[in-house]
Each structure stands twice: as structure tokens, then as C-alpha cells.
Chains A and B, each alone.
Chain A
């Protein structure tokens, strides 16, 4: 069973920041927070992951609350190609289970 809760869908205007929330209130101390996305009919793509600190890479930023019970994935300047299902996963033993994810639609 997935250990995370995400809104089923979100919209974002092209060029604006997309902020995708994730609740993981039962996360344990050694579990990481991972974000993947799946564009229609493709395999999931790794985006970013973190343990306690906020993280940033060329794709996105990950903000993890101090109590680690929730996190937010930020796509700073969303494009139409960012339309996908975004999955937030918590894992510590390389045993990734996917929840329902958030379907992000970027609109012109």
C-alpha cells in the first residue's frame, strides 16, 4: 500500500510554477521521499529525491517540511511537456510502491 496522499489532479498555466503537494505523515526516519513522473504510455522518469533537506536539480526543487510529514515538488517554469502524472513515493529499501499520483495539466 502506498504511504503517500496526493491530490488527484492539478492545473498550471504555462510558464508559471507548479507546486505539487504530498502528504506522508507515517514516514519513518530512514525513508527517503522520491518524485517520479509518467508521461502518457511511457515508463516513469526520476525527478528528484531527498531525506531531510530541501533539494534542487535541473528539473525541480523538493521542499520537505521540518517534521517530514509532507513535501512539495516545485517545477519552477512549467511547460506543456511537463503535463504528466506525478508520483510521490517514500521508501527506504528500494521497494518502491506507487500510489495514484497527481495528474498535472499544464495549459497554454
Chain B
């Protein structure tokens, strides 16, 4: 299957700082990438859809100014958590639309802890 690399896998930061998470499709071009957030013992919640070369589409209730998404190329999307606070601590996961019809391939996730 296709490979999606997500970096970093784990990050700790101080409250008020910004954190950038990268999502790369290593062996295919992904015109669309997706960002999810997952709290402990809960399911994945879709945050936004990222299309290469255009603005991301955010789900209702997700602050676009806080969660900045950039999809500058067909293989890279980034999520920046700006002015992070402890309540932003979560497991963030990206996925990319694969070569086959409507299959998404997922990164390994980034665990963010805000102190």
C-alpha cells in the first residue's frame, strides 16, 4: 500500500507556542489530504480537508486561525497549531487520498502535549 509519513511523532511544547506537523505522501501524489484529531478513548474527528494549491476546508467548530493548514505541493501538507494551550493536547492524524478510488492512507499520528 501507499505510504504516508507524519512528523514529528511526538512533541511537547509550552503553552502559547506554535507547533507544526508535517504530512507527506512518499510514493504517490495526493491532491487531497485530511487532518483528524483524536482524544483518548474516542474516535477520530475530521478537522479539515486540505487541497493542493487552495485553501483548506474546515469542519464546523474548528478554528481556522488556530489550526493553520497548508498544502503547498502534491506530496506535503502541514498543520500548524498556533498559540497552543493544554486543551489542544491530542493525537493528530493526517491521511492522503490514494491512487486507487477513494482509499485514504494514514500517517502514524503525532501526539501533542501542551504544558
Contacts and interface: CB of A to CB of B under 8 A. Distances in A.
Interface of A: 2, 32, 34, 36, 38, 41-46, 49, 87, 91-92, 94-101
Contact of B105 (A2, A46, A87, A97): A46
By DSSP majority rule, is chain B's interface helix, strand, loop, or mixed? strand
By DSSP majority rule, is chain A's interface helix, strand, loop, or mixed? loop
Contacts of A45: 106
A43 B106 contact: yes
A100 B93 contact: no
Contacts of B78: none
A78 B102 CA distance: 27
10 contacts: A32-B102, A42-B108, A43-B93, A43-B109, A46-B105, A49-B102, A87-B43, A91-B102, A95-B49, A98-B36
B32 interface: yes
B32 A94 contact: yes
B104 interface: yes
Given A91-B102, A94-B104, A96-B104, A43 B6 contact: yes
Interface in B77-115: 91, 93, 95, 97, 101-109, 111
A96 B34 contact: yes
A52 B109 CA distance: 32
